[in-house]
Amino acid sequence: MEKIVAYLRESIADEVFSKNEKRSLRALVEELSPDEQQLAFLRSRLFALANEKINSTNQAFILEWLKAGVSALTIPSSTNSEVYFSPGETCGDAIVRNIAQSTTSLHICVFTISDDRITKSLLTAHQRGVKIQLITDNDKSLDLGSDIQQLKRAGIPTRMDATPNHMHHKFMIVDSRAVITGSYNWTRSAARFNQENILVTRETSVIKSFQEEFEKLWQEMKPE
């Protein structure tokens, strides 16, 4: 968390806190994904720095700085989690919606992809510059209807489990801000027929754990 504290020190030092600095602070918090205990520590440092710096001439700046800092270090509890079920379109809609809303990165770890709506949304995100990394299972990649080869040909970095076992995860990390996970396979049959579920969570500790698992698997899996 020292990187965030250092950024806070720099941002308060010159008594100028631009929109770009505010966005950079938010992006840094999202990148490092502090848990609730760490966020509480950072908020205490925020107020300590403000107390050290405030004087009779800079009160307006300090109040604005505090407001922006608290906002960056607060995750609204009302939007922490959502849950969806199939059969029906709500699971697929949630996946497509989160892909469409992504701005920086998508880390995807799924058994297979054969839902053309999801594939189209991934290709669109890739074309507008979202960094996508895909981990999947080799046994399903050549199935009739699989879209894995299409995504690879589009230039999306892909790694596969080449062992006799299965990489059976189904999760996606969106901009390091949310995780989508659950039993739901990214297929049309899952939407039409199967009793499935997905959970969308923005809990920082959960996101961090999934990110660590993704990075571990990315190093273990065979590059394609």
Domains in the chain: boundaries: 2-72, 79-223
- Contact (Cβ atoms closer than 8 angstroms) between residue 105 and residue 178: no
**Residues 6 or more apart in contact with residue 83 via CB below 8 angstroms:** 197, 198, 199, 200
Tell me if the pTM is above 0.85.
Answer: no
Q: What is the pLDDT of residues 37-70, one digit of tens each?
A: 888 899 899 999 999 999 999 999 999 999 888 8
Band of residue 78 on the pLDDT scale cut at 50, 70, 90: very low
Q: What radius of gyration do the chain's Cα atoms show?
A: 21
Alpha-carbon dihedral angle through residues 79, 170, 148, 100, given to the nearest 10 degrees: 0
Domain 79-223 fold is Endonuclease; Chain A (3.30.870)
- Contact (Cβ atoms closer than 8 angstroms) between residue 33 and residue 4: no
Instruction: List, by residue number, the catalytic residues.
Output: 168, 170, 175
DSSP-based three-state secondary structure for 132: strand
